[in-house]
Each structure stands twice: as structure tokens, then as C-alpha cells.
Amino acid sequence: MNRLQRYDQNVFSIADLQREGTKKLSKMVGEYYNEGAMDLLSMNDNVAAFDRVRLRPRVCIDVSQVDMSTECFGAKVKMPLGFSPAAMHGMAHDDAELGTSRAAAKAGCNMVLSTWSNHSIADVVNAGDGYGNAYGQQLSMVECWDTNMHMIRNAEKAGCAALVLTVDCAYLGRRLNEYRNDFTLPEHLTFPNLPPGINPYNFVQSDPRTAYDRAFTWDKVEKIVKSTSMQVYLKGILTAEDALLAAESGVHGILVSNHGGRQLDGAISTFDALEDIVAAVKGRIQIHFDGGIRRGSDIFKALAMGADYCWVGRIPVWGLAYDGENGVSLALKLLYDELLITMALCGCSKLSDIRRSHLARLRGDGTFAKL
């Protein structure tokens, strides 16, 4: 009575999903997905930052109907959560990005595809056809302009609504698990979004078609904005200074992100970065949030801090590893129910009811103070 549905015998939270999904992966693949750069300081702090802020619930408010729907990439979606780009879903399960796409579409969830996906952007978009959600294509700019434009034109042709430029990847972060495990790509995987002739198994040798553009500047951001009909978002913004420059560059929005702690270890957590960024640019461009979400209450906290939309990258991978497409659907059901309960118990019947006043931050004396 009054308890929401149970969906699985073993998985009742995202923490359960991570544990059970990881059990089904090899050590090399599991650590590739679950770890980050160097000592994992930023990766772990992305999660811990949410616990430094608590909820201030309001009561005696009509929450008989809770509406979590919103708009993102021009699509009406059922909740303010989408799948951010994560490479090689095919390492987790044979359903790969097609399974992720089907689960996302059925749940009214947007999805951004990694450049290093194992299915083409056209096939991934087609897998979600008919449900009304929207898709984006991620791109880390490389030295070869023709390669960049190849990716952009293919995404436009496939019907993508957004281009998500990763801007925190001048160098690849030093991920010690890849060295320890001698990480290599499974030979059965394909990378159909890359232009023909590229060797995806070449991790070290320089190829301008895959080498990150270390001279990628704001001028080039503006050039990209003018080169595509898609909305352009920048993923990897952590400071108000860069958020302001992004707003001036003409992009539609940003993703506040530290690459899941996989790039610069010791960088500020995404949740801690969000407050200054919102204060600097709220209302000028869309502010999306990516990093450390493990519960529906985390989504609520990010929205209360001023984010317009949230993204998760590892969670669909854990779902795939656990039970393919069904595991991804399970993850979305859990997060939907958790956000629903959090909103209702905080007295919010719609997303616009969520306020900073619903949050309290941990102080140095161990107590919590209202924001």
C-alpha cells in the first residue's frame, strides 16, 4: 500500500545496478567504465558533492499530480534526464547503442551518441523512431577539418537536433586503469561513425583525423556554430568565466561537466561548479548538468541549483551490462520513480516549483544552512 512497483529481484537502486552490472564485465572493461583519471579524486567527488547538500522538504501542498516533463533539444520529454555520450556501449552488451536508444526512446529520454559508438548515428536515431525524443551527436574536434565536418554532416543527415562539442580534451586524461590493464579495443567492435580509412586501434601514433585539435579556440566554436543547422552545446565547462565566453560564442547551451572525472583529476566537482555558472549566465543560454548523478534526488538537487536539464553517462552502460536494453529501461524507471518521490515529498508538483530554497549546504561546523 502506497509503495511504488518493484521492477527487479536484485536491483532496487542505481548503486545496485552498478554492482550487478559490473559483475558481468571483465576487469579491463569494468575498470574502463567505472574509473577515471589518476587518483579518482574528481570522479569520486562528483558523487560525494551531492551529499554535502541536503533537502528542505515542504508539506501540505497538493502533489496528487506531479509533472516532470520538460523540453530539451526541441523535444518534449518525460523527465529532465538524458543519456550523455559514452564510448563503446558494445563492450557492455551486444545490444550496444541500439538497445540504449530503444530504452531511451520508450521512456521519453533524449540521447547523445559518442563519436566512438559501435553503431552509426543513423541506426541509433532510427532505433528510437516514433517516440518523439531527440538525439545529439558528440564530437571532440580533431586536427583534420574534413573529419569534423564528416561527423557533423552525418549527424545532420540522420536527423540529430544537437551537436555536443567536447571541449575538455586537448589531451586525453591519464587513466591509470588503462595502463594497468593494457586496455585494448575488442576486435569484434566496429566504429561506423568514423570516416573510412581510420584505424581505431591506434592509441598512440599521430593521425590528424583522430588527433585532438589542441588549437581549438573560441573562434573555432563560432565557426562551428555557423557551419551547422543543429543546436550547438559545449560539454566540459566548469567555470563561470568559460560559461560567459560560451554565451558570447553563439552556442545554444553548455553541459557543466568534468568528463566524469576522466580528464583532469583534481578538477572541481560538477555540482560544486554549477552555482557560479548559473549565477553568471542563467537565462542567456541553456545550462545542462552532467556528472555524479546516482539518485533521483541528485537530479532534483541539480535542478534546484539552477540546471535546466541533466545527463548521465555511466548509468545506461551499467544497465546494458546487467540486462541489455531491459537493464537500461530498469535504470530509467528507478530514476523516474526516485525523482517523482523527491518532488512530491518536497512539495513540488512541477519542475518550476523546484527552488534553491529546497536545499541546505553543509557548513564547516557540521550543520546545514539554507541556500
Catalytic residue numbers?
Answer: 259
235 has binding-site annotation: yes
C-alpha 30/C-alpha 220 separation (Å) is: 36
54 has binding-site annotation: no
201 has binding-site annotation: no
102 has binding-site annotation: no
5 has binding-site annotation: no
205 has binding-site annotation: no
267 has binding-site annotation: no
Pairing, β 309-312 against β 286-290: parallel
61 has binding-site annotation: no
114 has binding-site annotation: yes
329 has binding-site annotation: no
C-alpha 19/C-alpha 24 separation (Å) is: 9
* Other CB atoms within 10 A of residue 215 CB: 10
87 has binding-site annotation: yes
C-alpha 252/C-alpha 261 separation (Å) is: 24
Q: Which distant-in-sequence residues (6+ apart) come within 8 Å of 316 by Cβ?
A: 83, 86, 89, 100, 103, 104, 328, 331
313 has binding-site annotation: yes
122 has binding-site annotation: no
Q: Which distant-in-sequence residues (6+ apart) come within 8 Å of 145 by Cβ?
A: none
292 has binding-site annotation: yes
141-144, Cβ contacts within 8 angstroms, sequence gap of 24 or more: 141/165, 141/212, 141/213, 141/216, 141/220, 141/224, 142/208, 142/209, 142/210, 142/211, 142/212, 142/213, 143/208, 143/209, 143/211, 143/212, 143/213, 144/208, 144/209
In 3D space, the residue among 57, 36, 141, 77 whose CA is nearest the CA of residue 311 turns out to be 77
186 has binding-site annotation: no
Q: Which distant-in-sequence residues (6+ apart) come within 8 Å of 215 by Cβ?
A: none
Binding residues for FMN: 85-87, 114, 138, 166, 235, 257, 290-294, 313-314
Going by the annotation, the residues of the binding site for glyoxylate are: 32, 175, 259, 262
- List, as residue ranges, the binding site: 32, 85-87, 114, 138, 166, 175, 235, 257, 259, 262, 290-294, 313-314
